[in-house]
Amino acid sequence: MIDTQEAKEFFEQWRGWSVEVLEAWGIPTNTDNRRSWNRGNPVGEMKHFTAGTGLIGTCRWGNSESNDKCSFPIVVGDRVLDGIKPMPDLVSKYMCVTAVMLSDLDRGHWHGNWTNGITVGVENRNAGPLCKKGDKFFWWAREFDVEKMGKKPVEIDGRWYEPYTAEQLVSNIWLTRLLVAAYREEEHPFDPRWIIPHSAVAWGKTDTGRAFPMNLVRGAGSTSYGPGDPSGIDPWELPWLKQYQAAPDIALGALEEQEEQAFVDDMLARDINYRDEDGEDEPELDDNMATLIEGGKWSTHLPKVLLGLHELGYYVTHSPSTDYTEEAKTAVWMFQKCAGKERCGNPDKIPGPKTRRALLKRLKMFQLED
């Protein structure tokens, strides 16, 4: 476990180094395009991809005086850039790629829709989804130069993506651990329910995308998703990361499939009875009535709802009880806000027919359902 004082010292040194690097690049070292925290400090982290191929350009855009629509404090690269000042020892201990703090974390930024006052925005240098034409790949009508980028795009369920490097994922894990440690003693510490991808709160967004193993990164950075606690393990020793590092060009869907199957196996092993005692299926949930089993127990539909939310990167643990937990309610409520009133009605934490139809549509958008 990282000590709180060490975490605070890390961010102080990282910010100091980043200011010098930004000055060398001719980029403003801060932005006024910020806002206050809802609870006095951040309680979560939002993972993004930059939808671009350059780290320096992302930093320049993020702190540009003409950019009054978006801001974010952190950019994590996919490799170490040449020709820049070496990171301090404490920073390089955790960041194994070039990563930059564009501003302090004393205030929030404009990066995550209705979570701006809750989450720290972390932009990962990654182009995201790619379009394949012949033997070439493109992003935003620009060619993704495979040789120049040193990466082979990966295909997941019929779509192509730029892969994240193992070093980038490890840096993300350490960053989550450092944020958790830095705010551990605050009145409102970090909450894994609010460690999410951008797509969890904005219907029109797809980042961090299918190539980013969100649940695994969050689990290794904050809390356990299965037996043991991966948050205390050296990220390089994580079995899934070892596999990722050994074969970066494998179909990442295979890793994802293994993790999701573990989730399903766990639920099946519990032999939960999804039917009423009289053998009749439970009635269809009504959007305006909490018709969950008395005492907050799961309804017939809830396991599928939670599995779908888990696949989309929401915080739903690998070992759900038969109770409709607060974590599950938050995930349903968050999805309802993401989907909007036109699809789900008012967010009420009840996974009724409208919510389930919207969830199925969202899963299809990510090729997670046929």
What is the pLDDT at residue 234?
85
Q: Is residue 201 part of a domain?
A: yes
Tens digits of residue pLDDT in 86-120:
999 999 999 999 999 999 999 999 998 899 999 99
Same domain flag for 247 and 345 = no
Q: What is the mean pLDDT of residues 139-156?
A: 89
pLDDT over 60 at 299, yes or no: no
Same domain flag for 153 and 94 = yes
Q: Which residues pair with 249 in a beta bridge?
A: none
What is the percent of the chain with per-residue pLDDT over 90, rounded to a whole number? 59
Q: Is 87 exposed, middle or buried (0-12, 13-18, 19+ CB in 10 A)?
A: buried
Same domain flag for 112 and 149 = yes
Q: Is residue 20 part of a domain?
A: yes
Which of 189, 218, 252 lies at the terminal end of a domain, its last residue? 252
What is the pLDDT at residue 69?
81
Same domain flag for 218 and 316 = no
Q: What is the mean pLDDT of residues 175-181?
A: 95
* Whether 102 contacts 55, CB under 8 Å: no
pLDDT over 90 at 170, yes or no: yes
Q: What is the mean pLDDT of residues 181-200?
A: 95
pTM of the model: 0.85
Our count of domains for the chain comes to: 2
pLDDT over 50 at 176, yes or no: yes
Tens digits of residue pLDDT in 320-359:
445 678 888 899 999 999 999 999 999 988 888 899 899 9
pLDDT over 60 at 289, yes or no: no
Same domain flag for 175 and 297 = no
Q: What CATH number is attached to the domain comprising 87?
A: 3.40.80.10
What is the pLDDT at residue 195?
96
Lowest-confidence pick of 129-133, 322-326, 364-368: 322-326
Same domain flag for 120 and 14 = yes
Tens digits of residue pLDDT in 193-229:
999 999 999 999 999 999 999 998 998 898 643 334 4
Q: Is residue 370 part of a domain?
A: no
Same domain flag for 88 and 141 = yes
Per DSSP, the residues of 329-350 read HHHHHHHHHHH-HHHH-S--S-
Structural domain harbouring 81: 4-252
Cα–Cα distances in angstroms (integers) from residue 177 to residues 95, 151, 217, in the given order: 12, 27, 10
Q: Is residue 240 part of a domain?
A: yes
What is the pLDDT at residue 226?
36
Q: Is residue 263 part of a domain?
A: no
Beta strands in the chain (DSSP E): 34-35, 44-49, 74-76, 99-101, 108-109, 119-124, 129-133, 136-139, 142-144, 154-156, 159-161, 195-197
Same domain flag for 117 and 173 = yes
Same domain flag for 34 and 82 = yes
What is the pLDDT at residue 199?
96
Work out whether strand 142-144 and strand 195-197 pair parallel, antiparallel, or are unpaired. Answer: unpaired
Same domain flag for 168 and 55 = yes
